[in-house]
Amino acid sequence: MNIFRLAGDMTHLASVLVLLLKIHTIKSCAGVSLRTQELYAIVFATRYLDIFTSFVSVYNTFMKLVFLGSSFSIVWYMRYHKAVHRTYDREQDTFRHWFLVLPCLVLALLIHEKFTFLEVLWTFSLYLEAVAILPQLVLLQRTRNIDNLTGQYIFLLGGYRGLYILNWIYRYFTEPHFVHWITWIAGLVQTLLYADFFYYYFLRFIGGRGVE
């Protein structure tokens, strides 16, 4: 564990907590894409399949449970909670996210480190996570400005993988044989997809306006 990865995990945790806070306290998911949340639930479900078979640390297992629990709870809230469900913007959240799942699965079947069931699904989760934010970014463009909590959620979610990139650079220089091109490229693509969001988000900080 290094400071970059810890900061990355804490940023990721913060993004999930901000979203749960928004949905649970003000009972609203306005501006939040259910499709992105569904993709993230699939990402965690396929990435943490080894949660019961390979123990790394208490921290690792705890965080996996938090991410699994929170992502599925958010989907449940947005789909079935009567108050929250009413605030979901169904007409605008129309990105065909299932069109993202299949190509990621095919790509995982073609490009992976080992051809085993767990490894292919784990690789699939990496590719899917890289594009999972797309429905949210499209929804953001359609609904124009968004509330602060949703903006902070997206900012933290984009930032965590950027910190992971610093972690991979650090581990590459400090650990022999630490080379994972698939993870690195997927993480880089994921972070680059947030580039224009970060640009407008920082403009907001500088200009003091809402996220246009």
Partner 1 sequence: EANNEKKDEL
Pick between residue 60 and residue 143 the one whose CB is nearest to partner 1: 60
Closest approach of partner 1 to the CB of residue 18, in Å: 18
DSSP the chain: --HHHHHHHHHHHHHHHHHHHHHHHS---TT--HHHHHHHHHHHHHHSGGGTT----HHHHHHHHHHHHHHHHHHHHHHH-HHHHHT--TTT----THHHHHHHHHHHHHS-SS-SHHHHHHHHHHHHHHHTTHHHHHHHHHS-SB-HHHHHHHHHHHHHHHHHHHHHHHHHHHSTT---HHHHHHHHHHHHTTHHHHHHHHHHHHHT--B-
- Give CA angle at 106 (45, 109), nearest 5°: 80
124 lies in the site for partner 1, by CB under 8 A: no
Q: Which stretch binds partner 1 (CB under 8 A): 50-58, 83-91, 131-139, 144-152?
A: 50-58
Q: Which stretch binds partner 1 (CB under 8 A): 5-13, 14-22, 80-88, 196-204?
A: 5-13
State the Cα–Cα distance between residues 154 and 133, nearest whole angstrom. 9
Member of 28, 60, 73, 87 binding partner 1 (CB under 8 A): 60
12 lies in the site for partner 1, by CB under 8 A: yes
Expressed in angstroms, the distance from the first to the final Cα of the chain is: 37
114 lies in the site for partner 1, by CB under 8 A: yes
Q: Which stretch binds partner 1 (CB under 8 A): 34-42, 63-71, 80-88, 196-204?
A: 63-71
161 lies in the site for partner 1, by CB under 8 A: no
49 lies in the site for partner 1, by CB under 8 A: no
17 lies in the site for partner 1, by CB under 8 A: no
Q: How many residues bind partner 1 (CB under 8 A)?
A: 20
Pattern 171-190, partner 1, x by CB under 8 A: ------xxx---x-------
Pick between residue 173 and residue 199 the one whose CB is nearest to partner 1: 173
Pick between residue 25 and residue 57 the one whose CB is nearest to partner 1: 57
C-beta separation of 74 from 37 below 8 A: yes
Give residues in contact with partner 1 (CB under 8 A): 5, 9, 12, 50, 54, 56-57, 60, 63-64, 67, 113-114, 122, 164, 167, 177-179, 183
